[in-house]
Amino acid sequence: MLIALGIWACEDKSQPVPELDSIVVSPVKSVLMLGETVQFSALIIDKSNSPMETPVVWLTTNDQVATITNVGLLTAVGRGEANVYATIDNVQGMAEILVSTNRRRVL
């Protein structure tokens, strides 16, 4: 009986650590005017297809077009195109933005 209690006490009762699978960024595409802002969000999904609560690192591919804060708030600062990335380790999610001086209709 003591052996059984010893084995039970030594069992690993911790939950398995979820393993990151993908990041989905939304909105996926945005058309903005100069000075406009948009709040991006990231859905982090683990290998079992469940959401995870993990902070991401935000960046844009062109700081002359758009800047983004560490909470995903993007500001259009210049005309052009850029990609927005949410990153954790080597996993990324991406969105596209277009900053224009003319409002265009997107079909």
User: What confidence tens digit (pLDDT) does each residue in 18-48 have?
Assistant: 888 999 999 999 999 999 999 999 999 999 9
Q: At 9, give phi and psi (nearest 5°).
A: -70, -25
pLDDT of residue 5 exceeding 50, the answer is: no
Kindly list the distances between the CA atom of residue 70 and the CA atoms of 21, 53, 94, in Å, as whole numbers in the listed order: 21, 15, 15
pLDDT of residue 10 exceeding 90, the answer is: no
- Mean pLDDT of the residues in the chain: 88
Stretch 92-105: mean pLDDT? 87
Question: What's residue 65's pLDDT?
Answer: 98
- Partners of 30 in the β-ladder: 97
pLDDT of residue 13 exceeding 80, the answer is: no
Kindly list the distances between the CA atom of residue 74 and the CA atoms of 9, 17, 59, 90, 104, in Å, as whole numbers in the listed order: 51, 31, 9, 22, 19
pLDDT of residue 12 exceeding 70, the answer is: no
Q: For 64-74, what is each residue's pLDDT tens digit?
A: 999 999 999 99
- The whole-model pTM stands at 0.78
